[in-house]
Amino acid sequence: MRKRLPWIGAGLGAVGLVAVIIGTFLPWSRSGLTYRNSYASLGVLRELGFVGSLVTVWVAMIPLAAVTIAIYALGLRRSAAGVAAVMSIIMGTISGVAVVERGDEGSLIGIASTGPTTALAGAALGVLGAAVVLVTQRKRSSGGEA
């Protein structure tokens, strides 16, 4: 079982990253009856001059998640876990703030809960999976033990 734990952690981490990315495509903001995903919401904020390079960083998370999952699959679990942990903490913090600040559901303009909640749950899984990998996967010794 001990040899399976790093792979279980890698699986949890990969599922968490996929959930984070799916969450970015779900509704993050609402205006009347219109719901916008995180990319459309950031586009509106960029046009208003509120965000700068955050949009670029946010969009870069998609290929970074794909590369991290590929690195997990290639067996470089510790490296992937490090990237997944940092990525999950960043995305989890942003989505956590959105979940907490979502406000009154009856108002015309506000934060939708579906996207941030999904991204937050995925980030929690990503951090958990990374922690399992980093705790159970020991550095290979000169004797060839894993």
pLDDT in tens, 20-68: 999 999 999 888 888 999 988 888 777 777 776 777 788 899 999 999 9
Lowest mean per-residue pLDDT among 37-41, 95-99, 106-110? 106-110
Residue 108 class from Cβ within 10 Å (0-12 exposed, 13-18 middle, 19+ buried)? Answer: exposed
What is the pLDDT, as a whole number, of residue 91? 93
Query: What totals of helices (H) and strands (E) does the chain contain, helices first?
Result: 5, 3
What is this structure's pTM?
Answer: 0.84
Name the residue ranges covered by the structural domains of the chain: 5-132
Measured between alpha carbons, how far is 25 from 67 in angstroms, rounded to an integer? 19
